Chains A and B, each alone.
Chain A
Amino acid sequence: MQSDRASQFMEVYRPVAQRLERYCLMLTGDVDDARDLAGDTVEQAWKGFDGVRDRQAFLAFLFTIASRRWARIRHGRRGRVQVDEASFDDVFDTSQDVERQTDARMLYEALQTLPAEQREVIVLSEIFDMSARDIAAVAGCTEVTVRVRLHRAKARLRRLVGAGDTLPAPVLKPTPIEVDR
């Protein structure tokens, strides 16, 4: 019985495991913290697995757990623990595809300087391609807040990395409209 449940869990977890890990790394900026966060997230997801009805939304479920857990950890620390954030080389495999790393490295370093809320929103939007509504659900805020954070994050990133593009701000994937047929 328990092993069936575990195998069901692993079946939906395995395909999204890497994305969860990438999210944890981008969120925490520290490999050890990310490992702890991913582990806690898996544990929590396992406990609430029976309540997951839409397996397609499992990744968002994991992101939500991770986001809230990380917020709690940050709140618990409140400047009491100094964290040396991991460098680009600590997080990413830099042995291949060297030419695309220069800009990505600058961007990663700029991301580390963003406030946690802005970083979370822009990571979910730009790296995980999530809609504003989904981001709002994960981050536990309104869509308007998501757009504001995203706007500010992009403006700050543009200043930091000297981006030459003129992205229309705020750019978000449109929320899919559900149509009853």
Chain B
Amino acid sequence: MKLDRSFRDLRQIPLRTTLLDDAAVAARLRAGTTPSVPVGRRYPWLSWSVLGAATAAAVIVWLQGTDGTDPVSGGPKVDAAASASSVVPGDGTTKPPAGAPMEAIATLPPQRRQRPTAHGHTPRRTAADGTRSTDCRLRPALSMAHRSATDTPSMRITEDFIRQRAVAVRMADAERLNICVDDANGILRIPYNRNGRRECTKSVLVVGRSEDVRTTEACAAMGPDRTAPVFAIVSHYRRVDGMMLPTGVQHVPLDNTDEWVRDTEAVSYVGSSALVPVQIDIPAERGDAEGRSARVMLFYRATEAIVTSLPANAAGIVSAELAAKRRLESGESVDAACGFLADRPILGVCRTASHALRDVRVVAVPGRAVICHYNLLRSADVSIAIHDLAGNLVAHEGVERHDAGAVDHVLAANLDTGLYRVVINAGGDDVTVNSMVVTR
């Protein structure tokens, strides 16, 4: 074998895919135009890259008093506007009310906790599902959600629940609740003094990319004097469709001592869908000026990332997303953009490849069908099953033979609003699209 000739061959064989299409390049140019956060010299790693202005649509804060109301299983409905304008006084405990959604997720049993190493680093490994998790404390989303849903039927997170309780975050709300939300996109930045140290006496919610924001360092950045209590850090990301999407959150003990750096625990929802709900309870002592408690639900949505990485033929969903993005860019409020998106179906995206399948994308048309778009690498028998989070089979398509190539597999399914899991079996290999969100 001649090395020279082999190198020449390697130079000439065309690549399988284009890494950056024009839209992706354009997105990068836009991101490069946005000024970075000035952070001073002390913490240069804090100059986070910006995911895009559309992430403003990401933040929905759900305000609810910890008064025992069950928003899903028959409790009194709370008007979104009303909940935005008032916080119901709570009992001051951090524990969510019995039967509240995600309660089981929010309270992991002790044996599930894994501590950082002696050096303060969290051990890393490849997760059981083959994805490169950056933190082994994270378990696959579905197993957690599934287990929780099995334990507590009311755990199921429905769009109805979200809609009833969700309001768009406003600066005024955050101010009223004494919260800083720092998502590295400048939604609400924590001020820095000239020494590059954060000077903030508010409670802080930090959302950042794990590559750039190392958890312990981010915590440490709050200053050795701990002037800014930290509620939670969304620091665990999973690569979805080439972009890093948040998949987890670490709660930080609220007593604001040194202990929390070493004793953080992953206690919140972990998901790989485009929508990542994160729930945080704020006790009365950390609540607003009148000592009222609140529950905050952060919905992180990387609209920009999805828009730029999807092909234009993804069954019209892209146009809906783009339209929403344009609305945001034209200065429309986050409320309006979120409301607009809520009326559209939302897709699940999965790049997990099996031996036979690649580039799986799932689009749900609520009440009618689910369209699974994928590239089949070889002829194979394909079957599709859709489960809800409780594991119930809600739709199924029997074995169907498909030739290699791009396939649009349409499955008639009358899906209600909610979260689902799609399992596509091709030639014996399963590919799972976790947590597909269907909205009307």
Chain A residues with a Cβ under 8 A of chain B? 2, 6, 9-10, 13, 17-18, 21-22, 24-25, 31-32, 34-36, 38-40, 42-44, 46-47, 73, 76, 80-84, 89-94, 96-97, 100-101, 103-104, 106-108, 126-127, 154, 157-158, 161-165, 167
Contact = CB atoms under 8 A, between A and B. Distances in A.
A24 B10 contact: no
Interface string B1-29: 11111110111111111111000111011
B1 A103 contact: yes
Contacts of B73: none
B29 A104 contact: no
Given A32-B242, A92-B14, A165-B4, A25 B32 contact: no
6 contacts: A10-B25, A17-B25, A43-B32, A94-B13, A126-B4, A167-B3
Contact of A165 (B2, B126, B211): B2
A163 B351 CA distance: 37
Contact of B20 (A21, A97, A157, A165): A21
Contacts of A163: 1-3
B24 A31 contact: no
A108 B61 CA distance: 49
Contacts of B29: 6, 9, 42-43, 46
Contact of B125 (A82, A94, A167): A82
Interface of B: 1-7, 9-20, 24-26, 28-29, 31-33, 49, 121, 124-126, 132, 134, 211, 239, 242, 351
Given A32-B239, A93-B15, A164 B2 contact: yes
Nearest to A80: B124
Contacts of B32: 42-44, 46-47
B194 to A, nearest CB: 24
A43 B308 CA distance: 15
A65 to B, nearest CB: 12
A104 B9 contact: yes
B124 A161 contact: no
B19 A21 contact: yes
Nearest to A164: B1
Given A2-B33, A32-B239, A107 B3 contact: yes
A76 B6 contact: no
A84 B130 CA distance: 9
A108 B15 contact: no
A101 to B, nearest CB: 7
Instruction: Provide the main secondary structure of the chain A interface.
Output: helix
A82 B126 contact: yes
Contacts of A107: 1, 3, 6-7, 9-10
A21 B28 contact: no
Contacts of A127: 7, 10-11
Given A92-B13, A108-B10, 11 more contacts: A6-B26, A21-B18, A43-B31, A43-B49, A46-B29, A84-B126, A92-B14, A93-B13, A103-B1, A163-B1, A167-B3
B240 to A, nearest CB: 10
A43 to B, nearest CB: 4
Contacts of A80: 121, 124, 134
Nearest to B26: A6
A83 B132 contact: yes
A38 B16 CA distance: 16
A93 B19 contact: no
Contacts of B25: 10, 13, 17, 42
Closest 9 CB pairs of A and B: A80-B124, A46-B32, A104-B9, A126-B7, A107-B6, A103-B6, A43-B32, A100-B9, A43-B28
Contacts of A73: 211
A38 B20 contact: yes
Contacts of A84: 126
B16 A90 contact: yes
A34 B12 CA distance: 19
A76 B18 CA distance: 26
Contact of B6 (A13, A17, A35, A161): A161
Contacts of B16: 89-94
A81 B15 contact: no
Given A6-B29, A32-B239, A81 B124 contact: yes
